[in-house]
Structure formats: C-alpha cells, structure tokens
Amino acid sequence: MSRHEATPSQTVGPFFRLGLDRPEWSDLTREGPRGEKIALEGRILDGDGAPVDDAVLEIWQADADGRYDHPEDARRADPGFRGFGRAMTDEAGRYRFVTIRPGRVPGRGGGLQAPHVNLTIFARGLLKQLVTRIYFADEPSNDSDPVLIGIADPAVRRTLLAVRQDGGAAYRFDVVLQGKGETAFFDL
Amino acid sequence: MAKSHEPYARPRPGVQPPYLHREYGSTLKRAPSRALLPLQQTLSEITGPRFPAGSAGPELVDLTRQGKGEALGQRIIVAGRLLEEGGRPLPRVLIELWQCNAAGRYLHGKDQHDAPLDPNFTGVGRAITNDKGEYRFLTILPGAYPWRNTSNAWRPAHIHFSVFGPAFASRLITQMYFPGDPLLPLDPIYNSVPDEAARRRLVSAYDPALSEAEFALGYRFDVVLRGRESTPFEDDR
C-alpha cells in the first residue's frame, strides 16, 4: 500500500476543551446572514441514558438558498454565512447552536435534497467521529429526500428529525449514541 | 486534480479504529450498536469549512512562550506536512492542537492528576498550513499521565491534533505519539487501530535535520487525510 494512506483517527479524550473551545463558533449568525434564524438544541445521551457531558459537536450547512460557502459549490453563497459551527455539551449533556434554516441542497442526479444540517460528534470514548444529519420535522420535502426515504424503519428515520419547540424559533434534536432510540449514524 | 463532485474514498479495512473497542472502557456505552447507514456523498459531504489565514496568530505556534516566562520541559519542534492520500499537499488548512505539560498535567479543570501545573504553559496551539501544506510548532515534550481505564494505566506521551481538510468528509482528529515510547504497546487507544502499518503512522519520527543545535529536538509528523475515489496511490502508477 502507498505510504500516503490516511492517518487513523484517535479519540479527542476528556480534555479537548483546552484546544477546541471556541464559544463564539456556536453562533453561525454573527455576520448577519439571510434567512430564518433558528436555534438547534438538544442533549447527547449514552447507552445508559446518561448525559454525555464531554462531547464536541460540529455542524456544516448550506445557506438559506441551499448554497455552500465552498469552491465546489459553483453558486455564490450568502457572504454573511460561512456555514460552520462548533459547540460543546454541558454537565447535563446539552448543546445549543444559533443558526439559520438551510435551503434545499442539490443531490446526486440533479434532484434536490430536503434541508438538512450535517453533524459530526467527537467525544471521549469515540475513537472516531460519528456523523449524522439533522432534518426538520415540519419540512414537506422530507418525503422526497433520498437519504430519508432510503431508511426503511420509520422509528430510525425519526431520529434524524429536529422538532420545533412550541411554535418558536428553537428546534430540538437529541442524539442517542447507543441503545433504545439510537440515532441513525452514517458511514461517510 | 479530482473531477468535480467526486466522492471521498473509503478507508481500507483496519486503517480506522472501530467504535467499540472493549479494552478502552469509555467505548462500551458510547459506541453505536447498529451498523452505520450507507450514505452517498453529495455536495453536503464534499464541501466543508475554510478558515482565513488570520485564524491562527504567531503566538499559537510557539507554545513555549505563551506566559510571562518560558515553559518548563524539553523543548521540541513538531513539524510536518498535511497531505491528501495520493500525496497532494493541503495548503491553508487549520490545525488545532492541545497537550499536557512536561509533568503530564493538562490545564483543564477535570484533570485531577497530582502533578504540577506550569504557569507558563497552556498546551494550546493553532496553525494554518502554508502554501506547501507545511506546519511547524515549537512546544514542550508532553509527559505520560495516569488514567483510570484499568488499574495503574498510563497514557503514552501524545499531542492531540485536530485537522480540517477540504471537506466535511475529510475532518480528522487524531493523536501524535513519540518513537520508542514503552507505553505504546500497552495503550488501548493507540492499539485500537487494527492495521499495524496504519497504527505506526500515528508515531512521529525523530528528525535530526529538524532539530536545532543546542535548542530543541525535532519530531516530524505528517498527517494524511482521505483523498478522492479516483486519487491514484503513488505505487499504483
């Protein structure tokens, strides 16, 4: 095999806050993007239902028009939106992002995907990151999203849906790492 | 140059650690129990965040002079290149690192190890790779420290590296180790990587050419991120 094969992943361990804590990065609206401002919040729980108080979450998402701020997206993204966020869980396993609701993003083969936020989780006890997607439960285009309709079990599919809280601007998305209600994670 | 919108290649089996690794106790309640779902990569996965050159100031590449005085311990230079599989360098990429001090203690409230803190050492570094994909830090050789995975367990000396590649799919957080460390064969985190050749890529190399006379020892550590599916491996050509 080539000497340029990938470097393996290793856990962030318990002390990552030292190197990774950037509190301002949990607010993706600092530069005044277009679109509907929302909060994404929830908890991370382990296989015993205990809160995971030492996890890092990173999100990557398109702007309100479904465009990514990246050279491989040829369309020009909102200059007020970079699309990346990082947050860490507190003692109760809670996290919170402030962002905007993304637009629909092109999929493979010319179709459109339902709006979603890409989520990566690092933690002590995770030797490599977990990857999932946050969809919005009140989004009509979910019914035609290739990833969602590819998940046969509706209970598993539901683990990817963030639910709007009391008609307000906050969406709730809990992550269960293991066991009952386990979140659907992707092999990226 | 990869074709546009081409997916990132999957790792060869054994190159990446599993989620469940019984010897590392913290995985037992955190590893998913269901198989991961396949995901066809789309624009969402092949794009990712970029960081402007100003994201890392010069004070963050010299960890020995972040306090009023000099940090205690063996000065080391840690340098290398950031590459994609296939060998293409990755310029202007953010590297974040963190480590414990020479005594094996992290500047972190949760670290209860009874070893002294160094008021002149935070253990936090940050750099943006240059146009050739290179980075360079001046820091202190981290100490080994005890952890409660098993009785009398010690982590080998290591530095945590967080690297953003060109895409969401290429994100990597890893640990760099030191050659000849007697704790490596005993460490369940290091040994969670099944493939021996892959595991050895986590160990830096002592490089006399990188050392500075009468000043600091040099360790070379290249980080390789996933490449595109069509990326030829060097020895395939």
Q: Do B44 and A113 touch (CB under 8 A)?
A: yes
Q: Which residues of A touch B172 (CB under 8 A)?
A: 6-7, 9
Total Cβ atoms within 10 A of residue A178: 22
Contacts of A122 (CB under 8 A, 6+ apart): A11, A12, A16, A55, A56, A58, A129, B173
Interface test with A, best of B37, B61, B147, B221 (most A CBs within 10 A): B37
Q: Which residues of A touch B192 (CB under 8 A)?
A: 10, 127
How far does B98 lie from chain A, in Å, by closest CA?
A: 5
* ipTM (interface pTM): 0.96
Of all residues in chain A, the percent with pLDDT exceeding 70 is: 98
| Confidence band of B76 (pLDDT split at 50, 70, 90) | very high
Greatest pairwise CA separation for chain B in angstroms: 54
Backbone angles phi, psi at A138, to 5 degrees: -95, 20
Q: Is B11 on the interface with A (CB under 8 A)?
A: yes
Beta bridge partners of A163: A172
Contacts of A130 (CB under 8 A, 6+ apart): A120, A121, A177, A185, B19, B32
Tell which residue, B119, B108, B226, has the closest CA to residue A6. Answer: B226
Tell which residue, B175, B233, B190, has the closest CA to residue B9. Answer: B233
- Residue scoring higher pLDDT (B237 or B84): B84
Q: What does the pLDDT look like over A102-153, one tens digit per residue? A: 999 999 888 999 999 999 999 999 999 999 999 999 999 999 999 999 999 9
Radius of gyration of chain A from its Cα atoms, rounded to whole angstroms: 17
Q: Do B98 and A83 touch (CB under 8 A)?
A: no
Instruction: Annotate B26-91 with DSSP letters as a single string.
Output: GGTTTS-SSPPEE----HHHH------GGGS-GGGTBGGGSSSSPPPS-EEEEEEEEEETTS-B--
Q: Is B105 on the interface with A (CB under 8 A)?
A: no
Only one residue has tokens 């395939």, namely: B236
How far does A137 lie from chain B, in Å, by closest CA?
A: 19
Interface test with B, best of A26, A61, A127, A177 (most B CBs within 10 A): A127
Compute the count of residue pairs across chains A and B with CB atoms less than 8 Å apart.
237
Tell which residue, A103, A84, A100, A125, has the closest CA to residue B31. Answer: A125
Q: What does the pLDDT look like over B206-221, one tens digit per residue? A: 999 999 999 999 999 9
Q: What is the dihedral of CA B165, A187, A19, B90, to 10 degrees?
A: -10
How far does B54 lie from chain A, in Å, by closest CA?
A: 15
- Which chain B residue lies closest to A123 (C-alpha atoms)? B30
Q: Do A106 and B43 touch (CB under 8 A)?
A: yes
Q: Do B28 and A47 touch (CB under 8 A)?
A: yes
How far does B34 lie from chain A, in Å, by closest CA?
A: 8
Which among A130, A146, A150 has the least Cβ separation from residue B32?
A130
Q: Do A18 and B40 touch (CB under 8 A)?
A: no
Interface test with B, best of A7, A60, A116, A153 (most B CBs within 10 A): A7
H or E element: which one contains B200?
Answer: helix B196-200
Q: Which residues of A touch B173 (CB under 8 A)?
A: 9-12, 122, 129
- Mind telling me the catalytic residues of B? 106, 145, 155, 158, 160
Q: Which residues of A touch B100 (CB under 8 A)?
A: 15
Mean pLDDT (chain B, rounded): 93
Find out whether B5 and A66 touch, Cβ atoms under 8 Å: no
The whole-model pTM stands at 0.96
**How far is residue A64 from each of residues A28, A59, A68, B125, measured CA to CA in Å?**
12, 15, 10, 34
Beta bridge partners of A172: A41, A163
Tell which residue, B144, B127, B57, has the closest CA to residue B92. Answer: B127
What is the distance between the alpha carbons of residues B101 and B75, in angstroms, rounded to a whole number?
Answer: 11
- Which chain A residue lies closest to B221 (C-alpha atoms)? A7
Q: What does the pLDDT look like over A79-107, one tens digit per residue? A: 999 999 999 999 999 999 999 999 999 99
How far does A65 lie from chain B, in Å, by closest CA?
A: 14
Contacts of B109 (CB under 8 A, 6+ apart): none
Find out whether B8 and B227 touch, Cβ atoms under 8 Å: yes
| Confidence band of B107 (pLDDT split at 50, 70, 90) | very high
- Residue B130 is predicted with a pLDDT of 93
- Residue B237 is predicted with a pLDDT of 37
Give the pLDDT mean for B141-154. 96
- Residue B4 is predicted with a pLDDT of 67
- Residue B53 is predicted with a pLDDT of 74
Which among B27, B36, B48 has the least Cβ separation from residue A125?
B27
